[in-house]
Structure 1
Amino acid sequence: MFRRLEDARADISFSFEGREVTARPGDSVAAALLAAGLRSFRATPVSGAPRAPWCMMGACFDCLVEIDGVASRQACMTQVAPGMRVRRQRGAKALESDPAAETAA
């Protein structure tokens, strides 16, 4: 279903659920995971149904994952980095508040 349009060297590696995934420089996490054949990025909060990227431009939030311990990151809007640790997000995750933003308001 998903395939790369051109062959290029994939020389960045990161992990998804403990599995090594290779990516090309400039790939988003979502593009790299889809190219590696991975389709389920998160589970919905109510039913636990698997979800995958939909819009690939940051509008739908179906690609939320945990990256390096930080939940609710959009895989389609996050560029891969060497050694990144990515995990499926299961359900809704609370976002930590930013004390600096609260005092500025």
Structure 2
Amino acid sequence: MKFRRLGEATATATIVFDGRTISCQAGESVAAALLAAGVDHFRTTPVSGVPRLPFCMIGNCFDCLVQIDGRADCQACLSIVADGMIVRSQSGAGRLEDR
């Protein structure tokens, strides 16, 4: 596991990522929740299709772009989980019709 929470996690929210239900803590970032659940990539690059994960966790690198509740190009590291949130991985540059 590349990422883990410090201490015991108390599941207080549930999100769905690419059809997979993930228990997480209210108040944590979507990126932290996905990494703690063992998600192996959040998006792929537009040109080569290489899988990407968050790098900086502070909103500078844009490697954590996902679709949240139908809105594309959301930075998972800056988005706070909300119970029932639907998160999808982003393929390439996303789709304009999703914005």
Q: TM-score, normalised by structure 2?
A: 0.92
Q: Tell me the residue number matched to 2:71.
A: 70
The two structures, once aligned, show a CA RMSD in angstroms of 1.3
Q: Tell me the residue number matched to 2:43.
A: 42
Note the 1:16-95 alignment, pairs <5 A: 16-93=17-94, 94=96
Moved over 4 A (4+): none
SS in 1 for 2:35: helix
Unmatched segments (≥5 aa) in structure 2: none
How many correspondences in the alignment?
A: 96
More helix by share: 1
Unmatched segments (≥5 aa) in structure 1: 97-105
1:12 deviation in Å?
0.2
Q: TM-score, normalised by structure 1?
A: 0.87
1:39 deviation in Å?
2.1
| Inter-partner Cα distance in structure 2 for 1:30 and 1:43 | 15
What is the one-letter code of the residue matched to 1:57? I
1:4 deviation in Å?
1.0
1:8 deviation in Å?
3.1
The superposition leaves residues 35-72 of structure 1 with CA deviations (integer Å, 9 ceiling, x where unpaired) of: 00112000100011100000000000000000011000
The superposition leaves residues 3-55 of structure 1 with CA deviations (integer Å, 9 ceiling, x where unpaired) of: 11111311200100010001112110000000001120001000111000000
| Inter-partner Cα distance in structure 1 for 2:4 and 2:67 | 24
Structure number, greater radius of gyration: 1
What is the one-letter code of the residue matched to 1:85? I
